[in-house]
Amino acid sequence: MKNRLYIFGLALVILCLFATAAFAVTPTAYVKGILDQVIAIQNDPARSGPEHRSARAQAIRQIIQKSFDFNLMAQNSLGSVYGGLSAGQRQDFVNTFSYLFQDSYTRLVLDFLKKETIKYEQERRQGSGTRVNTKLIRTNETIPVDYLMRPQGDGWLLYDVIVDGVSILDNYKRQFAQVIRTNSFDFLLKKMKTQKQALQYSG
């Protein structure tokens, strides 16, 4: 009986330690963890060269899939329009938006992030989330890149990236609003689905 209690008590201690470690991950450490993984993929000798671009893309996309809050991003990208959609329309849009964002951001990472130095500066509260300021340092330029995230369980999820003062999410908002204003939401979704099918076919 004493052995069982000892084992049970030890298991609780281990669980508490893991929980403490998970909650101890700061927003900056979270961003650094993502970027370290991506840079490692980009510089992996086994996946170097144009012939292995698809392998690098697949690995990077897997990181993006688990690092972003696509539901929140899709909702914010439509603004007030989102509230007027049916549950089916919302899910359809989130799925399509998620696929297109992952493809676009994967290409961005493949083309522009490899051996640059990343300087981690400050993190601060922004609304109910956190903003982490970094600088991407190249030979002839320094580009500010900020990451916006919100708490999720015992970790974090990104919901926007601001490159040199330009918000990726705001870009989507402007594009979507213009299409909806001149046409309709259904037209926008159909256009996005067509783009998704073209990417799937080419990939």
- Name the nearest CA neighbour of 159 among 128, 188, 190, 135: 128
pLDDT of residue 202: 72
pLDDT of residue 203: 57
pLDDT tens column, 24-77: 489 999 999 999 999 999 999 999 889 999 999 999 999 999 999 999 999 999
pLDDT of residue 71: 95
Is the pLDDT reported for residue 12 higher than 60? Answer: no
Architecture of domain 2-202: Roll (3.10)
pLDDT of residue 122: 93
Confidence of residue 3 (pLDDT cuts 50, 70, 90): very low
Asked if 165 and 144 count as a contact pair (C-beta separation under 8 A), the reply is yes
Residue 40: other Cβ atoms inside 10 A: 11
pTM tops 0.85, yes or no: no
Q: What are the extents of the domains in the chain?
A: 2-202
pLDDT tens column, 76-112: 999 999 999 999 999 999 999 999 999 999 998 998 8
Burial classification of residue 135, based on how many CB atoms lie within 10 Å of its CB (0-12 exposed, 13-18 middle, 19 or more buried):
middle
pLDDT tens column, 161-191: 999 999 999 999 999 999 999 999 999 999 9
Tokens of 11: 């298991």
Tokens of 7: 């084992």
Asked if 131 and 123 count as a contact pair (C-beta separation under 8 A), the reply is yes
Is the pLDDT reported for residue 16 higher than 80? Answer: no
